[in-house]
Amino acid sequence: KAQDTSKRKPSRLFKKLDQVVTNMAGSNSSKGSKGIMPMATMANPMRQTPALAEKTAKATHTVEDEYGTMTSEGYTFTCNNFHLENGVVLPKAQLRYRTFGEINRSRDNVIVVCHALTGNASLDEWWGGLLGPGNTFDTQKYFIVCCNILGSCYGSTGPTSINPSTGKPYLKDFPDVSVKDTVRLQLLLLKEELKASSIKCVIGGSFGGMQTMEFVVQGGSAHGDYTTENGGPYVRSAVAIACGSAHAAWQIAFSESQRQAIYADPNWDRDPLKATKGLSVARQIAMISYRGYKAYQEKFGRKIKGDTLYGSSVQFSMQSYLKYQGNKFLPRFDPITYVKMTEQMDSHDVGRDRGGIASALQKVDIPILVLGIDSDTLYPPKEQKDMASLLPNAECRIIHSDAGHDGFLLEQEEVGQHVSQFLDNGGSFIRKSQL
């Protein structure tokens, strides 16, 4: 029986930009990021079933920032000799996950929530405003499962994990993992360890939305790879937010520019875990793509700190913000994992080896709600509309926000309203006038 953590304090993920700027005001960017707060041992806060007790996460480090407390706590599912899409075999593929609420007798009240690029399994920290009794992710009605992505650095097997074949960390030798691999491992967890008879809904935004679409293709049809005992779709509905059917050239360009920033760090070739200057720049590039012209212009404009008005010594508030974001990211991610995770995002293509995108999506027969953000320039609304048009039973809705791509996180009230209505109606669609 899993722990209901809904009584924890609300997530701080959704602080506005002005709060972030207040935190960094007057700070010298050369001081670097906030330090890691070590924990000698961290007991898993969840009540454990005997079968899972020995699989609980061991000691972890905790990092505090505006995104909440980022840890690798949770249960661990292990799959030995896990075959990746490219034919490589991972001797020991581990998946760190957390659960909220309780599974019902028919084991079909399961909701899977997929995290984005740098998230973890602690849903209560980064989407906590939607979690708890009476909320969108109602812990009195649903059994909510959230997994750390395979290849990430929050408990699942990744570049800093020990390679059983060598007894040393994989580092750059960690194999290429696809979104398809990540989702297949999660499906094995759900079927083999958690014994879910079916999944009520899979929900995710950005990289989480890409995983959601893989869940849909692999388990959202009677002809999919994963079905129920009666031969029906294993995944009964889905909500995909701020993503497309495949990673487009535009998104790959942003991924590659971030990787190139890391490669340009002199430490990348001799000691890649220390290529933190490159990682900081990569994060700054990402932060530009996550917002938009209006959000940055209205908040920062040409505001300047100090008396210098232009030239090499000028300190635009925008510059300070980016440096702050780059530096505070360093304690909670490493350069190799970031490279591998962006490469995994670039692997996203639901049509690969399935006859193309249209062929893959037209076979899906479950209800799917597709949500987009009108100011999202990284994953523009056209992608969501195009994807929904290829799905037999889908509806696309565009949410207004000036926040850009990050609107899928920042506009949690409206996102939560759409998702709640969808879940409450059993995955069937409702008129927009009802919202």
The order of strands in the sheet holding 394-399 is 75-83, 89-100, 143-147, 110-114, 199-205, 238-241, 368-373, 394-399
C-alpha span between 176 and 199 (Å, rounded): 28
For residue 188 the two structure tokens come to: 């094995």
Active site residues: 206, 376, 405
Please state whether beta strands 68-70 and 75-83 pair in parallel, antiparallel, or not at all (unpaired): unpaired
What one-character DSSP code corresponds to residue 398? E
- Which amino acid type is present at position 125? E
C-alpha span between 225 and 218 (Å, rounded): 5
Dmax over CA atoms of the chain, in Å, equals 72
C-alpha span between 79 and 8 (Å, rounded): 32
The total number of residues written for the chain in this structure? 435
Phi, psi of 48 (to 5 degrees): -110, 140
Cα distances from 236 to residues 112, 130, 205, 210, 219, in angstroms, run 11, 21, 18, 17, 8
Residue 43 CA from chain centroid, whole number:
24
